[in-house]
A and B are shown apart, each in its own frame.
Chain A
């Protein structure tokens, strides 16, 4: 609940404070939105105007051909599709196995559960960059089956299926669910799986929404790992395309700005869609 209660707000001192807060927040808004404005505005400028000194806020001449040209030069639809496949693939693997593992640790209480928790969470401490190189070596020649997974969607999806943070989030929520639920389920004769599927999951919809959004954002923004495991550009995601483009190719500033804007749209849409579930879901994850 808010620190100030209803009665205070109505008094002059409370009202002044409240008004001051709103004013402060309003002033901050342009700063928050500026990067988006900058990307969109630059998408319609010519490259020359983008690097002009002093920089202009709105395009002096609105140039729509840049957008068309960018789509013609780069396989952006393909890149967006790859991004969706990767996000979907990771969500389909990471979320279920994390939820199941968290459910087990939280409600089914196997032996060594403390060690197991450390087993999962300990991996958070190692930098993903550090793991990239050995993972790359391993993927080029998987042990036992001797298959080269590079340049295959699985090369990204499988390693990403293991994210300790996700298990942590799910466990936090499940810990908050009362044990009576489990007791009731057992009396009804439900096995663990039925309890999971028919009781726990429906209750956790907002939590799933939040976690899916977090995973989506993590995969979406990742450009270093896909670059590592996809030497060929057929499987590149939109972020990888942007990073390599601005790293020296035939891309103009205008191309890069258009790509940035295009890259922002899907994630904005997703955010607006799950917006409502977001706060509810977070408070339910029991991060408190």
Chain B
């Protein structure tokens, strides 16, 4: 029996909603309900024995905005973001460009440079903590070999963030690289050919053709990177526990620690909510800017 006998658009709408239904339910129940619950709880001072506790209105939020540790955490997030951009954002792009040029053995290089992404993240973190150990780590051993004094690396308030992102400079392959490679693959040969005819060298070709072509994907990765940086907590937790002197405590890590150390659950949720709103605003601004460009 042909369903086409019914109104086409009406039937399509019905089908569309049926297809959406499972996802809608899942998101409503397991994402939006907890989000709302989180906001709801942030207006209370949690009583562990008798949830939810005492209604306190906005006082958790005003506490956050008066809290110097909150601003310190925010500053840390921004610093992480900038340092991450400087050290970790572009290596996968460069790597993708390089591997893409290889004629024989491209698959081999792509595989070996993707593999670090497969290793358990804990393994990489533990390994680098060990390398950075001021007493017996490889890093200081190398410095001493060149007769340079050892550094305190992860204990150094000024150096710690850079030290945390240095591994990303060295082990820079992974999913991002493969994604960039797929995009680079799409650049039409003709564009390069015509540029060559115009006498453009390699550098010019990359600047005027390659980069603009992959810009859309770079933009998407940029936003994802931003979101991840502002939600970062697990990495500093394992690396430094938030130290030294709170230098690596991000917003979310501050929230986690408020819950873990101070048993201050309402405050933890408040901080997480604030982080969410900040990311939302930044992302919305970002998207407005890019659509205006178009």
Contact = CB atoms under 8 A, between A and B. Distances in A.
Do chains A and B make direct contact within the complex (CB under 8 angstroms)?
A: yes
Interface of A: 1-5, 8-9, 17-18, 21-22, 24-25, 28-29, 31-33, 35-36, 38-39, 53-55, 93, 96-98, 100-101, 103-105, 108-111, 116, 119-120, 122-131, 133-135, 137-138, 143, 158-159, 161-162, 164, 167, 186, 189, 191-193, 196, 214, 217, 221, 223-224, 239, 242-243, 246, 260, 263-264, 267-268, 271, 275, 278-279, 282-283, 287-288
A125 B171 contact: no
A162 B31 contact: yes
Nearest to B98: A21
Interface string B1-35: 01110000000110111111011101101111111
B205 A3 contact: yes
For chain B, give the interface size range: 35 or more
Given A242-B122, A260-B120, A283-B183, A2 B101 contact: yes
B203 to A, nearest CB: 9
A127 B237 CA distance: 15
Given A125-B276, A135-B34, A283-B182, A33 B123 contact: no
A214 B175 CA distance: 9
Contacts of B113: 25, 28-29, 32
Nearest to B278: A125
Given A279-B185, A283-B183, 9 more contacts: A29-B112, A36-B115, A39-B119, A100-B20, A125-B276, A159-B30, A161-B30, A224-B234, A288-B182
A102 to B, nearest CB: 9
14 contacts: A28-B170, A38-B123, A39-B119, A111-B13, A129-B252, A130-B272, A133-B265, A134-B41, A138-B33, A158-B26, A161-B26, A192-B16, A268-B115, A287-B220
Contact of B171 (A32, A122, A124): A32
A113 to B, nearest CB: 8
A5 B275 contact: no
B126 A246 contact: yes
Given A3-B101, A129-B255, A282-B178, A134 B15 contact: no
B16 A246 contact: no
A70 B233 CA distance: 30
Interface in B205-254: 205-206, 209-210, 214, 216-217, 220, 227, 230-231, 233-234, 252
Contact of B231 (A127, A138, A161): A127
Given A135-B34, A279-B182, A35 B276 contact: no
B181 interface: yes
A192 B275 contact: no
A221 B175 CA distance: 14
B182 A17 contact: no
A287 B182 contact: yes
A161 B29 CA distance: 11
A120 B51 contact: no
A206 B135 CA distance: 49
B255 A283 contact: no
B40 to A, nearest CB: 9
Contacts of B135: 53
Interface in B250-282: 252, 255-256, 259, 265, 268-269, 272-273, 275-276, 279-280
Contact of B98 (A9, A24, A125): A24
B192 interface: yes
A5 B196 contact: yes
B80 to A, nearest CB: 14
Interface string B101-118: 111010001111111111
Contact of A131 (B31, B209, B227): B31
A278 to B, nearest CB: 7
Given A125-B279, A288-B216, A134 B269 contact: yes
B60 interface: no
B15 A108 contact: yes
